Structure 1
Amino acid sequence: MDIRGIDHIELYVGDARQAAFYFSTAVGFEICGQGGPETGLVGQRSLLLRHGDIRLLLTSGLDAEHPAARYVQRHGDGIAVVAVEVDDVPAAYAELVVRGATGVTPPTTGADAEVVIAEVDGFADVRHRLVQRRGDRGEFLPGIIAASASTTDDQPPVLAEIDHLAVCVPPDQLDETVRHFEALFDFAQIFEEHVEVDGQGMNSKVVQSPSGRVTVVLLEPDRTRRPGQIDAFLDQHAGGGVQHLGLRTDDIVAAVEALRRRGVRFAGTPASYYDALQERVGRVDAPLDRLRELGVLVDSDHDGQLLQIFAESMHVRRTLFLELIERRGARGFGSGNIKALYEAKERELAAVAAAPQGVGA
């Protein structure tokens, strides 16, 4: 199946305006569209945000029976729809149904005939949306009115595009989820590993679209080891789902500096991590003292290096969070940094647990 890339990500949230305030104020997104009852969207309010080539749609249910309201009640704020761009939505939808997908929304054309969408069930409570665009103006989605962005910040975007999604699945569902992507979308598995850190363990497999433009990292806890972060996510999220969204940047130092100024908090990294960094990954073409100060991690593979950092979750359940990643040739996802990520996240969770009631939520 010809999937050209990720068109947008839709989050179901308790309060779309409040969530938009965080993404615009702290991360630098700009609100560029909206929809609600006045545009034909019954029972919901949606806001469209954009930063570089990254588009996020934030949707809140206005009544208790709306899918967004039911999702938030069960999972909290989170990613509910992964929308991919295809050339022919009706043909792609028909093919997916033949392959075994459960149709949710049949092909639907927007009022101005500039966009066609359809939806099928995905993994966990996440749906797949197919999007076909015939122009770059008018409706973003049926009922979502896109407006010309009015630049309010003289600084250019510091984030470029969505690099990958990381998905946590319950024990014994990893292979089944891989087959889901392979059978429906012709994804290929490009990587797998088993990681053990401080008595915790997880299995990971990575699947990617034929175009290479859509990548999903799948994570499953090893229940023969003590509970860890994947278990915590599954418990707090009430099941599988998207744990983090990887956003690619061309200059991670500049991106981290910009987001920190805006108020984004990033997971800390042990100072000792940098003592043997160049021995582990080779010469790094970046000032180590600056990387140490910012907490940026570095890893390498046969194709080059990557720099990455993880933001602290902004959600009350401490589930979904953002990753910033700069690729300098590397195609991996920081396997060598798994231990550092575990340590950083463990400190965050420990700090939350130790905080007085009502603090750190």
Structure 2
Amino acid sequence: MLIVSRVQSSMAVRSSVLLYWFHVFCTGVFADVWKVTVEPDMQALVSSCVVLPCSFKYPVKEQPSDRIRAIWHMKDNWDDIIFHKDSTKVKDSFRGRTNLIGSLGALNCSLEIDEVKNHDNGPYCFRVELETSKTDKYSFVENCVSIKMIEQASKPELQAEQSVQEGEPAVFTCSVRHTCPSHQPTLTWNHTGKVIMSYKDIGHGNWETQSVLTFSPKKEDDHSAVACTVKHYGNVKGEMTVTHRIFVKEQATLSHILIPVISGLGSALLFGLLCFFIAKKRYRSRPGQFTPQGGQNVITRKSQEDTHSTVLFRCEGTEANTQQLLMYSSATNQDKTPPLITL
């Protein structure tokens, strides 16, 4: 009995080795006809969902979805099935949490895992079975997916100008990346305005949700904070809100232009009047000296610089019995022709 047991054990080992090398051989031979495309390294938020992008092709004629069987299983144990259309074959910890969201007829094998647990790391492999024959089936164990768990979400990104103009449209862009396109996160603002939402695939199993807010700032918005809040699908923890403080430049009006001009003119006028009265007061405080000189009446005033200013005037009679007062001033260094003033 012992000998028989050893022989059976040896045969089992040899069979496993042969199956392994047969699989390696088949992988090389049929690599050009049995293919799958997946993202080998993914990230997922705990308590949310994650979609594993997947596409495949097979060597026979294309079949409709109802003649293709899709299976997702653990790499280390093919019997640990995480998705099967017969839910009774699915592992208990995944039953009701996995869903094939792709169309098998369109060669899309994308899988959604809902309510992600912190131990849903994988790796997970895709297996396709065609109902055309018993041999048309393949497990892509060389192309599996591993998931890195993220316990807390990071806050979204907010882009905007810090200084905005009053009355002119200001644009604020808030975006967040995620791995669950079947349940897009929502973005909300604490300020009213026009909001445009967009969703796009940015590759490698990542998607982006973006919200653009446009509004015209008022004077009351100066030094206020514009906030964007993200709500992920599921009971996700982490920073959900990002804020951006803005400074509003006041819009130029007619009063903004007139007030400085009037203020400047008023200051100049006041300064001019002040100078005029000071000069007039100083002039009156120095009385002139009246002396007759050769038939002329002369007034002489001495300045602070010890120079003399002389005013000469002469009365002359005319045929029209009018008088002319001839006045001129002379200084030490300069003589001017006296103007004639008729009285």
Classify the TM-score, shorter chain. Answer: under 0.3
TM-score by length of 1: 0.21
TM-score by length of 2: 0.21
| Structure 1 or 2: more strand by fraction | 2
Q: More relative contact order in 1 or in 2 (CA 8 Å, sep 6+)?
A: 1
| Structure 1 or 2: more helix by fraction | 1
